Amino acid sequence: MLSRFGFLNGKSQLTLIALLALTLLLAACGGKETTNNTAGSAAPSASPEASAEATEAPAADKVVTDAMGHEVTIPGNPQRILASYLEDPIVVLGKLPVAQWTVGNDSIQQYLQGSLKDVPTIAYDLPVEAVASFSPDLIIIGEESAVQKGLYEQYAKIAPTYVLGSAINKDWRKTLLTIGDLLNDQAGAEQAIAEYDQKAADAKAKIQAAVGEKSAAVFWLTQKNFYMVDEVVSSGAVLYQDLGLKTPNLVTEVPVESRGNWNPVSLEKLAELDANYIFLLDSDKQAGDTSIIDGPIWQGLPAVKAGNVIELDSSSSWLYKGKIANEQIIDDVLKAMVK
């Protein structure tokens, strides 16, 4: 049984995401169809298809140093990029990766399938043989923990391998700027961020005009356990930092040093929630189990009583981060809070 708060952080976060994504695969009933109702609203800054057809200006190879101190020779115009779980910035920059992230073969980033529907998948833990089979000419890795125990050396034998590092990878803007620099498209990355910041500022003004200063919480319910998003990652960063919604008590009470991307919350602790709005990704309901949300604790929450629960599909962009993901989150919030 979970304690009042359970925390996952550090190297275990990637494993948590993978395991929870696998849970979604087992619970999902919609196959590979894109279910986010805003999936077409946040197109990347450039068309990957058009980019692939265009003749790129020649660029020289360059030597850069990654987060782990590796000197990496980046090809001038990489054509076969492997950047598992970094597909959002790759698409924003008008590229298509050679393969896309998956857990359990079918659990993919549904919100990106408008661009990636024809891109084959590769397991989230990047087996060396699978990586080699795609013949990449550039490999971009998010976290240092993903290349431990000699994996970096094995990947580097296949193609130039650049590790962003957790300090960069946790911030989608820094990630986009870094990848933009690697791909000789710093201007494109900067433009994409400016577009996003303007969209967020406009949305923030509309939300404040419509509902004033309100608080909101984001929960993921899977296998009868609630997970609460942290305020500085994925949808939490969008709601609390970009859109200016107030952070509810349960989020602020989590010790900073103990926080993970998604923090388990017991039903006992959930009963103390003071949020005006709740955004809920309910994998249990999609699997046919409504026992928790039909129960007295959930039904007794002020936001539930007020009818301010916004149910989201568990395959939506709310579990991810990046310009495209975040713009879809903004669209969902506007639809829910601005009438």
- Cα(6)–Cα(105) distance, integer angstroms: 29
Question: Could you tell me if 23 and 67 lie in one domain?
Answer: no
Report pTM: 0.83
Q: Of the candidates 168, 192, 216, which is a domain's last residue? A: 192
Question: Could you tell me if 225 and 124 lie in one domain?
Answer: no
Question: Could you tell me if 66 and 146 lie in one domain?
Answer: yes
Closest CA to 251 of 243, 242, 237: 237
Question: Could you tell me if 132 and 245 lie in one domain?
Answer: no
Closest CA to 136 of 111, 154, 118: 154
CB 228 within 8 A of CB 289: no
- Cα(310)–Cα(189) distance, integer angstroms: 32
Q: Is residue 5 included in any domain, yes or no?
A: no
Banded model confidence at residue 3, pLDDT cuts 50, 70, 90:
very low
Tell me the CATH number at 178.
3.40.50.1980
Q: Is residue 139 included in any domain, yes or no?
A: yes
Question: Could you tell me if 213 and 100 lie in one domain?
Answer: no
Identify which has the larger pLDDT, 190 or 315: 190
- Judged on CB neighbours under 10 Å (0-12, 13-18, 19+), 330 is buried
Q: How many domains would you assign to the chain?
A: 2
pLDDT at residue 104 in the model: 80
- The residues, any chain, with a CB within 8 Å of residue 319's CB and separated by 6 or more, are 17, 21, 220, 234, 235, 281
Tokens of 77: 């115009």
- Cα(4)–Cα(6) distance, integer angstroms: 7
Question: Could you tell me if 278 and 217 lie in one domain?
Answer: yes
pLDDT at residue 260 in the model: 75
Q: Is 101 helix (H, G, I), strand (E, B) or coil?
A: strand
pLDDT at residue 7 in the model: 37
Which residues sit opposite 265 in a β-bridge?
5, 226
Question: Could you tell me if 26 and 66 lie in one domain?
Answer: no
Question: At residue 150, what are phi and psi to the nearest 5 degrees?
Answer: 85, 0
Question: Could you tell me if 183 and 223 lie in one domain?
Answer: no
Closest CA to 100 of 80, 79, 78, 83: 83
Question: Could you tell me if 204 and 293 lie in one domain?
Answer: yes
Q: Is residue 172 included in any domain, yes or no?
A: yes
Tokens of 213: 């200063």
Question: Could you tell me if 239 and 311 lie in one domain?
Answer: yes
pLDDT (tens digit, 9 = 90+) per residue, 37-96? 333 333 444 444 444 444 455 789 999 999 999 999 999 999 999 999 999 999 999 999
Boundaries of domain holding 72: 48-192
Q: Is residue 17 included in any domain, yes or no?
A: yes
pLDDT (tens digit, 9 = 90+) per residue, 280-334? 999 999 889 999 999 999 999 999 999 999 999 888 999 899 999 999 999 999 9
Question: Could you tell me if 73 and 143 lie in one domain?
Answer: yes
Q: Is residue 116 included in any domain, yes or no?
A: yes
pLDDT (tens digit, 9 = 90+) per residue, 84-140? 999 999 999 999 999 999 998 678 999 999 999 999 999 999 999 999 999 999 999
CB 105 within 8 A of CB 124: no
pLDDT (tens digit, 9 = 90+) per residue, 136-189? 999 999 999 999 999 999 999 999 999 999 999 999 999 999 999 999 999 999
Question: At residue 234, what are phi and psi to the nearest 5 degrees?
Answer: 40, -130
